[in-house]
Amino acid sequence: MGRARRALGLRGRIAGAVFLSAVVTLAVAAVALLGPLEHSLRNAEIKSLQKELRKQTPASTFSRLDLCRIVTDPHGEQRALGRAESHLAAAIGGQVVVLVPSPGGSHPWILPRKGDTEEETDVAHDNFDDATRAYDTDQRVSSTTSGYAREAIPFTKHCLVGSQKVPKRYVIAVRKSIAEIPAVAHVVRRAFFDAALAALALTLLLGIPLSARLVRRLRRLREVAIDAARDAPMIVPVDNAADEVGDLARALHSMQQQLQTQEEARRSFVATASHELRTPLASLDGMLELLGEDLHDAAPDIEDARALLDRARAQSRRLGRLAADLLDLSRIDAQIQLRSEPVELGELSRAVLAEFELGSAERQIHTELQADAGHAVWALGDPGSIARILRILLDNALRATPPGTGIAVLLTKSQGGARITVSDEGPGVEAEEREAIFERFSRGKDTAGQAGFGLGLAIGRELAQRMGGDLVLEDPSDLHPAGARFTLCLPAALTPDSDPIAVVS
């Protein structure tokens, strides 16, 4: 069975399933429609006959005739009865006869009049079993035979027998031909089967090309997947069809673009990281080699050895910063969940500024924290990540700010948020570099001789966005015409002493 399915293929299975569904649908329709068709047509004729009879009120019409005289004296009112029967027969498009039960009581019917026309002869050969049921039950009886829709209507006429009025019951036997119903049903069945065959042929004509086109589209996507598994260049075909296969092709195309972007980023990362690591490592290796030569000399140059040691320590610290940046990037790319809790920015900023006191004092750069006195600024975020972003901004400011100038850290509240702004008095950022500096391994041109690795601001912005905020470079203004001003925007948090928010009912 499995081999047969594989040999049949998806195209054959789709076409077969569509064809089988059409066959089953048509078969169900045939059973539901054609089976009761003739019965439904007969019922429709009976209802039509009943509707016409309700309009004519035959019982009232015939009860007004002198049927008692017609029965006892056929030559008296014979013509009046014939006219009434003919009028009703013409109105309903059928045959009508008034029946009188025989004196024997077993209901062999007596025809009050007899004729020699074809319709009257047909009625004469009727056994009138429906009239018998109507007479016995005193209820109207509707029925059909192979050739007629029938209606038997009982009514009572009081006839004078001697000096007394005796009730006598009669039955109006109505017959309407339905001989054309089998022919109509046959025509409908023939038309249905012809339409069914045409529908099945059309299903095959449409289903086979459609399934073939679907299989071709899937085969192209399969070839793309095989190329991806072989690490070969893959080109996802453009498929603009508004269906599931088109959605799959577009998803694969988007995935291909993302993979290409990630691969380019990976190669750039590896190339840049290896370059950045190679430079300090080579420098550190050379310094240690010179330091070793100085120390093995009979008369070592202590001052030169100390200078080499200081430079080696600087390169070691640079390698440490690079390792920390790469670790931060790996955590960001791994989508590690950050904490989200209220953080008091004033206390955190003072703790981070204290870490830079020694470095800023050596370069004669003063730092200042500006915040509203007595008003704490609370933000919602990860304390470690906020401190990491502030360290990045302060480290960049210290490297860009000339000696003898200052760095300001400003804490402010905004509508629905909190902000930390770090301002320096350095050369600032060129207009064409304002967004590029936030990309990985991208560094500004004017770094005051203190070039980093181009990772800090990229890490800072990604961490800020992970916390629901952002890291932006402010535009120059009249109050700050020079230098650079970076602002960390974070969601605001409710402070412990905040007033409760009024709830409107």
Confidence of residue 317 (pLDDT cuts 50, 70, 90): confident
According to DSSP, the β-strands at 417-423 and 406-414 are antiparallel
Mean pLDDT value across residues 362-378 = 81
- Enumerate the H helices of 363-410 as residue ranges: 383-400
- What pLDDT does residue 22 have? 78
Token pair of 505 as six digits? 């009912």
Tell me the pLDDT of the chain averaged across its residues.
76
Inter-residue contact 443 to 393 (CB < 8 Å): no
What residue spans in the chain does CATH classification 3.30.450 cover?
56-179
Please state, in angstroms and rounded to a whole number, the distance separating the CA atoms of residues 62 and 323. 115
Token pair of 70 as six digits? 């017609």
Give the Cβ contact number of residue 191 at 10 Å: 10
Enumerate residues 6+ apart whose C-beta is below 8 A from 312.
284, 287, 288, 291
Token pair of 196 as six digits? 């069914």
What torsion do the CA atoms of 98, 100, 101, 107 make, to the nearest 10 degrees? Answer: -20
b/e for 340-376, b at 16 or more Cβ within 10 A? eeebbbbebbeebbeebeeebeeeebebeeebeeeee
What residue spans in the chain does CATH classification 1.10.287.130 cover?
244-332
pLDDT digits (tens, 9 = 90+) for 218-251: 777 777 777 666 665 656 666 666 666 667 777 7
- What pLDDT does residue 113 have? 55
Q: Which of 63, 57, 133 is nearest to 88 (CA)?
A: 57
Range from 18-27, 60-69, 266-275, 390-399 carrying the lowest mean pLDDT = 266-275
Strand partners for 150: 143, 175
Enumerate residues 6+ apart whose C-beta is below 8 A from 483.
401, 423, 424, 425, 426, 427, 428
- What pLDDT does residue 60 have? 79
Q: What is the CATH number of domain 56-179?
A: 3.30.450
**CA-CA-CA-CA torsion sign (161, 167, 169, 172):** positive
b/e for 424-458, b at 16 or more Cβ within 10 A? bbbbbbeeebeeebbebbebbeeeeeeebbbbbbb
Range from 22-31, 394-403, 442-451 carrying the lowest mean pLDDT = 442-451
How much of the chain is in helix, strand and coil states, percent to nearest 5? 55, 15, 30
Does 108 have pLDDT greater than 70? no
- What pLDDT does residue 505 have? 32
Token pair of 471 as six digits? 């890291």
Q: Which of 20, 4, 19, 23 is nearest to 210 (CA)?
A: 19
Q: Is 488 helix (H, G, I), strand (E, B) or coil?
A: strand
Range from 228-237, 239-248, 324-333, 444-453 carrying the lowest mean pLDDT = 444-453
Q: Is 237 helix (H, G, I), strand (E, B) or coil?
A: coil
Confidence of residue 478 (pLDDT cuts 50, 70, 90): low
Token pair of 153 as six digits? 């209507």
Give the Cβ contact number of residue 472 at 10 Å: 18
Please state, in angstroms and rounded to a whole number, the distance separating the CA atoms of residues 355 and 373. 23
Q: What is the CATH number of domain 339-491?
A: 3.30.565.10
Q: Which of 383, 352, 351, 344 is nearest to 467 (CA)?
A: 383
According to DSSP, the β-strands at 164-177 and 485-491 are unpaired
Enumerate residues 6+ apart whose C-beta is below 8 A from 429.
437, 444, 473, 484
Q: Is 83 helix (H, G, I), strand (E, B) or coil?
A: helix
26: enclosing H helix or E strand: helix 2-33
Give the right CATH number for 244-332 from 3.40.50.300, 1.10.287.130, 3.40.640.10, 3.40.50.2000. 1.10.287.130
Give the Cβ contact number of residue 30 at 10 Å: 15
Comparing 208 with 167, the larger pLDDT belongs to 167
pTM tops 0.85, yes or no = no
Range from 3-17, 87-101, 150-164, 323-337 carrying the lowest mean pLDDT = 3-17
